[in-house]
């Protein structure tokens, strides 16, 4: 076994294999004007709202106002973002003419109805995953989005807010491993039961494990394979270890076939407390001329830090430390709001990733 150590710059030799090391240099500092757009926040029910809000602020967004029903969630958000005004109601935020974008991490099954109201008020919408929890919701979201031409963006953060994944995607697009044949996405999570609200344990609220946390893997499959069509070949969902919550699921996996490549994904809630982070998220991308593996949040053989990228091609084996890489989603989304473009994510891709997750969930439930 290689003793991988990202602080060493020399070669490590094992047989005839040489591993080269490089560190992704920080992107040149860009001056992004603050206040390029004004935005508001509605719904603070998942902690992802902090990352979502920071992403828009990094992109030049000015946070103006927010609303949530829960006093304890309001207090924590106000402490982090004191510049934001607490609105008296959701309607007050929706009707504020100066706002161009609404950001939300409300209870999952409430997100699509909120997004519809946002678009009908002439504003764009950026939401935490899962952005939709049923095919019926998706059909209505698609209808209203087409009618209003507003942006409905789901922040698949395991790709869009992870520098290693961003760098890997750039390399794949440049042909570093040839034509992509398959992706394998693994998304284990730590459950932290004492911190979870009641809705977390009921599938009707979060949509099911494949709808929820596996939405990241469906997004990555489509993006890395450049698939524009795909079908779910097989899927399963299970409640292995939480019988006290009969409407919960702690394991799920699925097989996919796209119009360019195939994929496999597995998600679960079994990350042990001994791990130094919430989950050992991984992505393997197999190509005709090589392969790459991403250890996104930790590497047991290397360090507690994340953003590790390994790539093997016809010439060598490389390790790239991507921890200093850029995360352009927020800036791109603000650009899209201003220019009516689709640089952060195409609307078709956003909805197809969601549709695959929903269809896999239904197929998994049918096998129980």
Tens of each residue's pLDDT in the chain, 368 residues: 334 444 333 333 344 456 888 888 877 767 899 999 999 999 999 999 999 999 999 999 999 999 999 999 999 999 999 999 999 999 999 999 999 999 999 999 999 999 999 999 999 999 999 999 999 999 999 999 999 999 999 999 999 999 999 999 999 999 999 999 999 999 999 999 999 999 999 999 999 999 999 999 999 999 999 999 999 999 999 999 999 999 999 999 999 999 999 999 999 999 999 999 999 999 999 999 999 999 999 988 766 789 999 999 999 999 999 999 999 999 999 999 999 999 999 999 999 999 999 999 999 999 87
Closest CA to 68 of 56, 81, 54, 59: 81
CB-based contact 107:204 (threshold 8 Å) = no
Q: 47, 79, 90, 89: which is closest to 200 by C-alpha?
A: 47
Evaluated on CA atoms 330, 331, 332, 336, the torsion sign reads positive
Q: Which helix (H) or strand (E) holds 20?
A: strand 17-23
Judge residue 126's burial from the number of C-beta atoms within 10 Å of its C-beta, 0-12 exposed, 13-18 middle, 19 or more buried: buried
Residues in Cβ contact with 82 at an 8 Å cutoff, skipping those fewer than 6 apart: none
CA atoms of 284 and 264, how far apart (whole Å): 10
What whole-number distance in Å separates Cα of residue 96 and Cα of residue 89? 11
Nearest to 51 by CA among 119, 127, 121, 111: 127
**Spatial separation of the C-alpha atoms in residues 117 and 256, rounded to whole Å:** 33
- In the numeric block, which tokens belong to residue 248? 């919960």
- The three-class DSSP label of residue 294 is strand
The two structure tokens encoding residue 209: 């494990």
3-state secondary structure of 205: helix
The per-residue DSSP string of 137-198 comes to HHHHHHHHHHHH---EEEE-HHHHT-HHHHHHHHHHHTTTTSSEEEEEEEEE----GGG--G
pLDDT of res. 303: 64
- In order of 87, 140, 208, the CA distances from 112 in angstroms are 21, 9, 15
Which helix or strand (DSSP H or E) is residue 79 part of? helix 71-80
Say if residues 104 and 153 touch (Cβ distance below 8 Å).
Answer: no
Q: Taking Cα atoms as reference points, which of 132, 126, 90 lies closest to residue 108?
A: 132
The residue count for the chain = 368
**Domains of the chain: residue spans and CATH:** 37-155 (3.40.50.720), 159-329+359-366 (3.30.360.10)
Percentage helix, strand, coil for the chain under 3-state DSSP, each rounded to 5: 35, 25, 40
Comparing CA positions, the residue from 300, 328, 46 lying closest to residue 162 is: 328
d(CA 66, CA 77): 9
* Cβ atoms of 158 and 279 closer than 8 Å: no
Token duo for residue 241: 């270890």
CA distance 235 to 122: 38
| Among 82, 154, 163, 93, CA closest to 125 | 154
pLDDT value of position 300 = 86
Phi, psi at residue 321, to the nearest 5°?
-85, 110
Bridge partners, 66 (sequence order): 41, 86
Cβ atoms of 303 and 6 closer than 8 Å: yes
Strand partners, 256: 232, 263
């Amino acid at each position: 076994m290689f003793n991988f150590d990202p602080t060493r710059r020399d070669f490590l030799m094992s047989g005839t294999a040489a591993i080269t090391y490089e560190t992704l240099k920080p992107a040149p500092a860009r001056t992004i004007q603050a206040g390029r757009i004004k935005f508001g926040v509605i719904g603070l029910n998942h902690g992802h709202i902090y990352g979502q809000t920071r992403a828009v602020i990094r992109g030049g967004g000015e946070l103006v106002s927010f609303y949530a029903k829960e006093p304890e969630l309001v207090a924590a958000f106000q402490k982090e973002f004191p510049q934001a005004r607490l609105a008296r109601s959701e309607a007050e935020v929706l009707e504020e003419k100066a706002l161009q974008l609404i950001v939300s991490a409300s209870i999952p099954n409430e997100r699509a109805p909120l997004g519809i109201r946002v678009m009908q008020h002439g504003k764009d919408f950026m939401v935490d995953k899962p952005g939709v929890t049923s095919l019926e919701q998706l059909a209505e979201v698609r209808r209203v989005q087409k009618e209003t031409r507003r942006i409905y963006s789901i922040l698949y953060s395991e790709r869009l807010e992870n520098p290693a994944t961003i760098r890997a995607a750039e390399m794949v697009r440049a042909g570093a491993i040839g034509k992509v044949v398959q992706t394998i996405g693994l998304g284990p999570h730590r459950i932290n039961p004492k911190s979870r609200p009641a809705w977390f344990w009921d599938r009707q609220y979060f949509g099911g494990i494949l709808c929820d946390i596996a939405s990241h893997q469906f997004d990555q499959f489509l993006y890395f394979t450049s698939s524009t069509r795909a079908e779910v070949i097989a899927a399963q969902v299970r409640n292995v270890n939480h019988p006290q919550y009969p409407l919960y699921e702690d394991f799920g996996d699925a097989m996919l076939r796209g119009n360019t490549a195939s994929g496999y994904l597995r998600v679960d809630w079994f990350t042990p407390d001994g791990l130094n982070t919430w989950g050992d998220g991984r992505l393997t991308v197999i190509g005709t001329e090589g392969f790459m593996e991403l250890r996104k949040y930790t590497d047991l053989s290397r360090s507690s830090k994340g953003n590790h990228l390994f790539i093997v091609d016809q010439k060598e084996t490389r390790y790239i430390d991507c921890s200093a890489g850029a995360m352009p989603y927020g800036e791109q989304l603000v650009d899209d709001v201003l220019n009516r473009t689709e640089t952060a994510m195409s609307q078709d891709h956003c909805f197809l990733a969601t549709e695959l997750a929903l269809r896999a969930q239904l197929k998994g439930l049918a096998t129980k």
